[in-house]
Amino acid sequence: MSINCSLWQDNSMSVKHFAFVKFSEATEQCFLLFTLILFMFLVSLTGNVLIALAIWTNPALHTPMYFFLANLSLLEIGYTCSTIPKMLQNLVSEARGISREGCATQMFFFTLFGISECCLLAAMAFDRYMAICSPLHYATRMSRGVCVHLAMVSWGVGCIVSLGQTNYIFSLDFCGPCEIDHFFCDLLPILALACGDTSHNEAAVFVAAILCISSPFLLIIASYGRILAAVLVMPSPEGRQKALSTCSSHLLVVTLFYGSGSVTYLRPKASHSPGVDKLLALFYTVVTSMLNPIIYSLRNKEVKTALRRTLGKKSNFI
C-alpha cells in the first residue's frame, strides 16, 4: 500500500518523515524473518559482548591482537544495534515510519561503525604482518600507544566520513516519494528518494567507498602477501602452521565483510535492485556480525579458554 507523502511534508513541500516499505503482505513471512533476524541479533550481541568482556577481564589477552579484537567486537555491537532493532520493528508493526532526523542519525552511526571496521581490519592485518615478519621488533613497534593510535584513527576516519556523507545527503531536498525500499536508512536507498540531480552525491558515495573499502582492503592484501612470503621460507612445518593459524580467523572475517560490502557499494548503479540490495544488507549487517564472534571463539584456543573463565566467574558469582 502506497503512503501519502503529502501528510509528511512541511510548508516547503520537503518530506520530514519517511516510511519503510513493508517486507511482505504475508504475515507468516514477516514473522519468520523477524524470528530469524532476532535469533541472529541475540547471538551476535551475546557473542561480541562476551568476547569484549573476556579480553577485558583476562590479563593474558592484553596484547595488540586481542586489543584490536575487542575493538572489533565493540564496532559489531554498535553496527547491529544501529540498524536491527528498527528493522525488527518494521517487520511486525504497522508503524514503519521514521523521522528525517532519525533516519540521518541511523545513517550516521551505521556508516561510522562500518567505515571504522574497514580501517580496523586493515590495522589487524598490519599487526599480524609485524608479528610474523618482524617478531624481534614487534613489542616496540606495536606498543600499547601505537595500538591505541591505530584504533583512534580507525574510529576517527569512520566518524569524519560518516559525518560528511550524512550531512551531504540530508542537505538535499526530499519532495517524494517517501517510502524507503530497504531495511534501514542506507546511503543509496535514501539518495534514490532525493529530488533533482544526485549524480554528485552518488559520485561522493562511490569515492568514499573506493577510499574506505578498497584502500584498506589493498593494505590487507599487501600485508598478507608479505606474510605468505615469510611463511613459505620458514624451515619448520610447525612454525608455518602456527603462523597461518593466527591469521585464518582474520582472513575469514575480512572475506565475509569486504565481500558483501564491495558488492553493495562498488558495483555499477545499473545492476542495483531492491531485492538484491536487501539480501546483501541482511548479510553484512546480521549474518557477518553473528559469524564473527563464532569464528574467533571456535578457531582460537586462547579466546575459548578466556570465555570459559569469564563464564565460570559469572556462574560462581550467581
pLDDT digits (tens, 9 = 90+) for 189-225: 888 888 878 888 888 888 888 888 888 989 999 999 9
Specify if 77 maps to a domain. Answer: yes
Task: Check the CA dihedral 230-234-239-245 and report its sign.
Answer: positive
Q: Which residues, in sequence order, are CB contacts of 221 under 8 Å at separation 6+?
A: none
Judging by DSSP bridges, how do beta strands 97-99 and 17-20 pair with one another? Answer: antiparallel
Tens of pLDDT, residues 122-174: 999 999 999 988 888 898 899 999 999 999 999 999 999 999 999 999 988 88
Its domain, for residue 243, covers 25-315
Q: What is the pTM of this model?
A: 0.86
Specify if 13 maps to a domain. Answer: no
Any idea which residue has 528518494 for its cell? 193
Residue 165 · residue 188 · CB < 8 Å: no
What CATH number corresponds to the domain at position 43?
1.20.1070.10
Give the three cell numbers for residue 176. 517524494
Specify if 4 maps to a domain. Answer: no
Specify if 230 maps to a domain. Answer: yes
Q: How confident is the model at residue 11 (pLDDT cuts 50, 70, 90)?
A: very low
Specify if 254 maps to a domain. Answer: yes
| Domain total of the chain | 1
Specify if 240 maps to a domain. Answer: yes
Lowest mean pLDDT segment, chosen from 36-40, 72-76, 203-207, 244-248: 244-248
Tens of pLDDT, residues 290-300: 888 888 876 67
